[in-house]
Structure 1
Amino acid sequence: MKTRIFKLVMFMACLGACQQTKPPAVSFYYWKTAFNLNHTEANTIKANQVKKLYVRYFDVALSADGLPYPVSEVNLGHFPDTLEIVPVVYIKNEVMLSSNLDVAELAKKINSYVNSLSANSQLSYQEIQVDCDWSLKSRDHFMAFIDELGKITDKTLSATIRLHQIKYAQKTKVPNVDYGVLMYYNMGEINASNASSIYDKTIADLYTYTLGDYPLPLKVAMPIFGWGIHLRNGQVVGLRPKVTASALTMDAGFAALKPNFFEVKKDMLRNGTYYRKGDVMKIEAVSQVQLLEMAEDLGNYMKVDEIIFFDLDSLNLRNYEKDIFAQIRAAF
């Protein structure tokens, strides 16, 4: 705990005087349930001198009887010795909203399970990252949980931070962690409008000017993922991950309506999902130009020593030029 306080004091002392002296390091989130790097993913790690992977170990949800439990645990398999692993635990906000939540017990169970999964794969780790989009209603439980986890682990402790939690830090509070990761995506509403929910510069500009005021050192997470928003009668049916405009252009079951919108031409099944004639698929993705724009904007307001891209998947990587990560590093 004393170490975290010292780091915070030192960060505040240099805030404003710090300048970006060298390009940030490149890291990735790994969000699949089984760890198995393919050729494209392994080459991307090597080409960008990636030293660290933030691996989602498991999610925490509420069971039918209202108790927290782990879901979608990762099968780590063989993890390369050349990479540092950072276990990431995603906690659904519903857990923190539970009125009978025992935060101390939750912290103990999460810490124990992270240890167990790592030991089973003979992996060592030096950090735990908690990913939770806490709200004003769940704030007190979340902050208490972070305090309890900090008491029982000797590892570095980090947490993901959203833009609204930075701008309104006095209300949302600041978790007692070593550093935060600014999630610079998922900014808007998932709906049928022309606007993207993943990245919208107009929305981002409402928050970025406050980044220098946040009392925690920050790394940055940037999006290289995309998805389809399945619409029916203008209402969201669900999200369809890894669906691209180019794939739908080649699919005879879809017809282009306008840029990034495709209409379903007949009742059909695609990858286990039922589509009704007249349904619409809205495609959202972040272009290479937008990624560079994001880097430039962020660099105007904060010093960044590490960018964590979400997420390492060859289906995402193929949408960008091979040197995109070097370009983004240079833009800061």
Structure 2
Amino acid sequence: MHAIRLHAFGPAENLGYAEVPNPEPGPGQVRIAVAAAGVHLIDTTIRKGLAMGPIPLPELPTIPGREIAGIVDAIGSVADERWLGRGVVAHIGQAPGGYAEYVVTEVERLQEIPAELDPATAVAMIGTGRTTMGILQFADISPDSVAVVLAAAGGIGTLLVQYLKNAGATVIGLAGGPEKVDLVSRNGADLAVDYLLPDWPDRVRTEYGDRPATLLFDGVGGGISRTAITLLAKGGHWLTYGFAAGPTGITEAELTDLGITPVATLGPKMYERAGGLRALEDRALAEAAAGRLVPGLHRFPLAQAAAAHRALESRATTGKVVLIP
């Protein structure tokens, strides 16, 4: 089979397209002929050789990737034979291997792809979708809510905008550049703003100064987040799920003075509250199958994984980045 191999930590150019032996399923495992593989920002961090919390650095050489969808084409001993030939999607956990034409994983990780979804959409929902569902459980959303979504054209941002609108909230989506801003508008945001323009906070205040934000969904960090926090009303909630642009530098004392409650959504408390990761996956796939959530997809051929990493790191992508073998 063909796969993407990383022989040394470093730049995206270290990702090579190579021919390697097909993996074989062991007891309780299946092999999946991959139709789509998800690319996560964490993949780019690990590629550089930087550890990500509980995710250890893999031994080299390695095949990156943890989100895959395709057809079960072989099963190991003990595994239920009824999976053979089924379309499935899986988050394969801490063990990498997703950037490949074939992947082996445990049966308990499998989710059957709903008939309404294609493999790329299913991949977006098994990772990015389940995280979005996990974030949302920390937010009290009503028609009175005014929500600011940072990186609103990204994988999580796209789903947040759609979900919040479906719940009746007023949504202000921030994105970088006119093309992304247009996409945020098409996804249903009441106001889409280009945060690359220096006067973007003034535009938000001009439109919604009489209704300051009650919720801030933030996976960005840095100066943009620090400015966005000032848009929150007293009593507002700042829900964080990443700091791609670095720390905001805001202190607990400043937040107290502003009357803002910070809510860190990632980590064990996310899936413990939901009843487990499986429950979040179920909810994400169901929302997509019902047509209530439509993930944005940015596809690359598997052989162009290095280009996909560069595009993701430079914020040149929209929606979920997916590799197609």
- On whether the aligned pair clears a TM of 0.5, the verdict is no
For the aligned pair, the TM-score class normalised by the smaller chain equals under 0.3
| TM value normalised by structure 1 | 0.25
